[in-house]
Structure 1
Amino acid sequence: MKTPSLGLVWAAVLCGAAACSTSVTAGPVKVTPEMQGAGIVSSGVTLPSPPLVTGNRKKPVASWGKPLPYPIVIADRRNNRLIEVAPDKRILWEFPSPNLKIYRGNEDVNFSMDGKTLAVSEEDNYDVHMVDYDSRTLIWTYGTPDESGKDEHHFNYPDDAHLLEDGKFLTADIRNCRVRIIDPKTDSVTTEWGKPGKCEHNPPHTLAWPNGATPLANGDILVSEISGAWISRITREGKVLWSVQAPGVHYPSDAFMTEDGQVIVADFVAPGQVVIFDPATKKVSWQYRVEKGDAMLTKPSLARELPDTHDIIVADDLRDRVVVIDRQTKKIIWQYGEIEKKGHTPGLLNYPDGFDLDVFRDWKSVSAPVSKKIP
């Protein structure tokens, strides 16, 4: 994809039936066996009691160091569950689906600012949620399960989920070509960028199939658009600070900022790649792309720079794993999940699509038996 003028063509080619569409549909959605995934499953592990929240994103708890400095909560999409894994691969916490009609296909997950709530999006269940971490209960849902639409209380493939500092919920509504901020207290949309049925790159007025909306430390929002591989930094008031095309990226997925102000983005293609570039110069400073073998990524949906170590963690969706890549050597130094081996028992995942770091709890001080040795 070289120019945004090819928007509709590339959207049809790259997005496919499962990600976006050149038209806005509405009404009941046919639920397929693929969307049901493995059903309601769990690892079967006896979970330890979570430690109290003692850290935050600015002042995290003590790091575990390499290869993974903090435990991660994974949106294990086709297992319909959230699962938290420690750097030593112990399963620390788990949230299986309480009901497949309401909760199915969780694909992005992020902690709230206080670490007590998880924001979750479900593209092909057409809703978003909030999960209370301590009680492991579903506490809020917005959207109508198995129904697409473009009115206030419907989505058409919602992607990305973040709870902002003021408690509002941020998500990208891909097929409606809009980004929305919702107030959970009133169940109302407070901010909307883009317009259903008008999928063109002209932020914030119109957006070309946005699939990422990431809040930054100062309150700005990083929006990624599939068509044209556009990444834009927009203030909460809707002012575009910059908008650039990610160099060499075909299908940008959930862009983040690195500690030094660059953009890191996963390229959701096969073979996949991770690119870090300077938005001011558009120059690539780091790239990971392997054409074949165990080191190859297949449609990675999320890449982030790890705090403390500055290595790169990636959700390698279609290879059923989450990996950590050494920044200097470009070698995979940590992995949870086995390559293209789907499962829900300890050590296995089924289409892991998103994750967030638990920098809030000192799990390192909590000992628990491992029910099964995980390689």
Structure 2
Amino acid sequence: MTARRTAPLVAAAALLLAACTGPAAGSAKPPPAPTTVRPASPTSVATAAPAPTAGAPGSAFPAVAAGHPPGELAPGSNPAVLPGPVVIADRDNNRLVVVSPHGQVLWQWPQPGDLAPGQTFQVPDDVFVTPDGKDVVATEEDVFAITEIDVATRKIVWRYGTPGHHGSGPDQLWNPDDAIMLPDRSVVAADIKNCRLVDLSAASTSPLWTLGTVGRCHHAPPTRFGSPNGVFPLPDGNFLVTEINGDWVDEIDRHGHVLWATHPPAVAYPSDAHQYKPGQYVIADYSDPGQALIFDASGKTIWRWNPSSAPGRLTHPSLAIGLPNGDIMLNDDSNHRVIVIDPNTNTIVWQYGHTGQPGSRTGYLNHPDGLDPLPPFSLADTVGVTAPPTPGRW
């Protein structure tokens, strides 16, 4: 989700970063002063009543097609808290995985034969479903590419960026993040180390529009952005932008007009702010220990999750989003899990992945770095599930 990797950068990277004002683009900042806001109750996986059998009449989650093996969730997980399956960017396993609320793996990509000769798919750090639900768009941040995959054919249908080669010219990106297809089928993304926002199209090798200035990496929107690592569409057509340098979240329109800008309170490394509900926003703090919090446009804290010990302690979480029922779903990257938190009871109510244990077998993840709940159409049909309507999100 952010420019946050430990692999050495090429020498050219150092030259560009040195030119930036403020902290180095994508670099971690010193931790904030300790916060006294804590969950109101002990954090643990909630003990819930057994969910209805998959596919039973009145189920709040999708039926799983025949042939899918039993799922694997953390004990006490309640599948009913999810509106349907979720697609996960399983970064260090170099794969995308669709998981049902019961923990069944419904779809994985790539499999043998999915990639054409010469194609690669490496370290996906984000994945989002397209508006028509037929494709997914994945960001390969550390190889400087954005890739669109047709779910039915399992083939790459579009790619922007030259894998393995960064830059700011035509068909070039430098650590792109959070690529999301808009209704007009253009793809908006944060181009972190180029310190710009881009809107891309399959019809052009150059962005349709850009905001920000390459090599000017500090907060002065819309002409400059402090290493932006997220740009998410809002219901009114505006965008929510997260800037690493200086700890900023901004609302801007498509022309770059800034409606407001604020500091998410007591956050060391802001990552991927989303709208939680009108006037409220949820963000992850990519730190150890990490945090998830809800705040408003004035920077006031509404809710915070930041336990300092297991099982609730987060380790480099990079994305938190609100679910239709008000729960918070997030990927806890370095704990190798995806979890759902109930902010009313301050408990973990669903978990896929084994805390602190990376792996590739069913029930395991290895640095999951992105997620998106599936809409109640398209992908759900393609991978063999039937999802109920999901009021409030799609």
TM over 0.5: same fold? Answer: yes
Report how far residue 301 of structure 1 moved: 0.4
Partners in 1 of 2:246 and 2:252 — Cα distance? Answer: 17
**Percentage of pairs with the same residue:** 38
Q: Counterpart in 1 of 2:184?
A: 166
TM-score by length of 2: 0.76
Check whether the contact 1:48–1:93 (CA below 8 A) recurs between aligned residues.
Answer: no
Q: Distance in 2 between matches of 1:188 and 1:360?
A: 33
Q: CA deviation at 1:152?
A: 2.5
Q: Deviations over 1:208-233 (max 9, x none)?
A: 11111111122111110001110011
Q: Structure 1: 5+ residue runs without aligned partners?
A: 1-10, 26-46, 51-63, 368-375
CA contact (8 A) 1:19 1:157 kept: no
Check conservation: 1:302, 1:354, Cα contact below 8 A.
Answer: yes
1:281-320 alignment runs, 5 A limit: 281-307=298-324, 309-320=325-336
Q: Quick check: 355-364 or 331-340, which moved more?
A: 355-364
Matched, 1:147 2:147: no
Which one is further off, 90-99 or 245-254? 90-99
CA distance in 1 between partners of 2:315 and 2:79 (Å): 27
Match of 2:339 among 295, 317, 323: 323
Counterpart among 364, 379, 392 of residue 348 in structure 1: 364
The one-letter code matched in structure 1 to 2:88 is I
State the SS of the aligned residue for 1:140. Answer: strand
Partner letter of residue 151 of structure 1? G
Normalising by the residue count of structure 1, what TM-score does the alignment of the two structures yield? 0.80
Q: Shift of residue 171 of structure 1?
A: 0.9
* Shift in Å, 1:185: 2.3
Q: CA deviation at 1:161?
A: 1.1
Aligned to 2:250: 232
How far 1:187 sits from its partner (Å)? 3.2
Q: Secondary structure at the match of 1:166?
A: coil
Higher relative contact order (CA 8 A, sep 6+): 2
Q: Which residue of 2 aligns with 1:24?
A: 16
The answer for the alignment partner of 1:57 in structure 2 is: none
Q: Does the Cα contact within 8 Å between 2:79 and 2:101 map onto a contact in 1?
A: no
Matched, 1:73 2:87: yes
1:175 is paired with a residue whose SS is: helix
User: Which one-letter code corresponds to 1:299 in the other structure?
Assistant: H
Equivalent residues in 2 for 1:256-275 (5 A)?
256-275=274-293
**In the aligned structure 2, how far is the partner of 1:148 from the partner of 1:189?**
15
CA distance in 1, matches of 2:376, 2:135: 11
In the alignment, residue 154 of structure 2 is paired with which amino acid?
R
Deviation at residue 24 of structure 1 after TM alignment: 2.4
Q: Distance in 2 between matches of 1:151 and 1:224?
A: 23
- Seen in structure 2, the aligned counterparts of structure 1 residues 76 and 112 have a Cα distance that, compared at 3 Å, is same
1:154-179 C-alpha deviation (Å, 9 max, x unpaired): 11111111001111011111111111
* Deviations 1:11-41 (CA, angstroms, capped at 9, x unpaired): 9xx957559966428xxxxxxxxxxxxxxxx
Gaps of 5+ in 2: 18-63, 68-77, 387-394
Shift of 1:191: 1.0
Q: 1:206 to 1:19 in 2, by over 3 A?
A: farther
What is the count of residue pairs matched by the alignment? 319
Q: CA deviation at 1:49?
A: 9.1
Cα distance in 2 for partners of 1:233, 1:65 equals 34
Question: Partner of 1:24: helix, strand, or coil?
Answer: helix
Report the equivalent of 2:141.
123
Q: Who is 1:37 aligned against?
A: none
Instruction: Tell me the distance in 2 between the aligned counterparts of 1:19 and 1:122.
Output: 17
